[in-house]
Amino acid sequence: MRILKQLIFVVVLLLISGEVFCEDFFKNEYWDSGKADFQTFDARLTKYNINRRAKVTILLVKEPFNFKKYVKALKGEKSFDVIKMNYIRKIPAGVYEYNQMFSAYFNRSNGKLLKVLISSQDGCGTTFKKYQNRDLKNEMLIHSYFDGEGEVKLTFSKNNFVFYETLPVVLRFRLNEQENYTLNITEPLMTNKKGSEKLIKAEVKVRKINGLKEIKSKEKLYEVAINYGEKIDYFYFESKFPHRLVKWTKSNSDTLTIRKSDFLYYWNYTKPEHNSYF
């Protein structure tokens, strides 16, 4: 019986894993130290048609994942490794601010997205979204404070698609591909509104450049252009592993420019004197 359960576990995992494309990025021993790849960005983000100064944090860290419960595993529980991405942004909006977070969990063995959580809090209320790639369903549950969006679902039409907000990771672990490729991506979903289940075909082009004046770097970088619909975003990654993101320019003039990167146990940096660490 125990062997049968293990076999079922593996089969289901393979069914939801889909295309394998992460190469060696997640498998690198770099992630086994327990530390997190932690980055903060100076950002210009648009709210109410005004481009505003904002702060963005993006971190990647390895965690044990409980496949049955679809949450971080407790010590001693049966688990496998995932790479967790937390994408956090704070956007001032006059007398209040938007606090938004996007969490994604990638299967370390093949790079497949397993789970997404999105929350958005502002002066009006809270919106929460959850997507789990299990049972071969492509549904995102939405709990919104807006009338008509209280409890609804988004249903995506394809199995192999990419959330727009995961591009800083997905593009990062596909940098070594020699040819251009395409992705089916969602529209941005880290918002206080329901959003759309529409998928957009995106063309991805990768090339190496000799530096970037905006970040005062002469080191070689990867420039990744992603063309989707009538929009185009540019991502700039360091050429050396772990290929940290240093700049992201969006089609609506929003920008993220690296402020500081570190590799650390960030949960130990909680004292008042750490407020200015980044």
pLDDT tens for each residue of 101-159: 999 999 999 889 999 999 999 999 999 999 998 876 889 999 999 988 889 999 998 87
Residue % of the chain over a pLDDT of 70: 91
Average pLDDT of span 74-98: 95
Q: Does 71 fall in a domain?
A: yes
Q: Does 237 fall in a domain?
A: yes
Q: Does 267 fall in a domain?
A: no
Q: Does 219 fall in a domain?
A: yes
The pLDDT of residue 257: 96
* pLDDT > 50? residue 9: no
Average pLDDT of span 224-232: 95
* pLDDT > 50? residue 79: yes
Cα–Cα distance measured from residue 224 to residue 234, given in angstroms and rounded to the nearest whole number: 6
Q: Does 271 fall in a domain?
A: no
Q: Does 269 fall in a domain?
A: no
* pLDDT > 60? residue 18: no
Nearest to 242 by CA among 192, 176, 186, 180: 176
Domains held by the chain: number: 1
Per-residue model confidence as pLDDT tens digits over 161-176: 999 999 999 999 899 8
Please, what's the b/e burial string for 183-194 (b: 16 or more CB within 10 A of its CB; e: otherwise)?
bbbbbebbebeb
Instruction: State the chain's mean pLDDT as an integer.
Output: 89
Q: Which domain holds residue 141?
A: 2-259
* pLDDT > 90? residue 248: yes
Residue type, 195: G
Whether the Cβ atoms of residue 84 and residue 90 lie closer than 8 Å to each other: no
Q: Does 218 fall in a domain?
A: yes
Q: Does 188 fall in a domain?
A: yes
Cα–Cα distance measured from residue 118 to residue 146, given in angstroms and rounded to the nearest whole number: 16
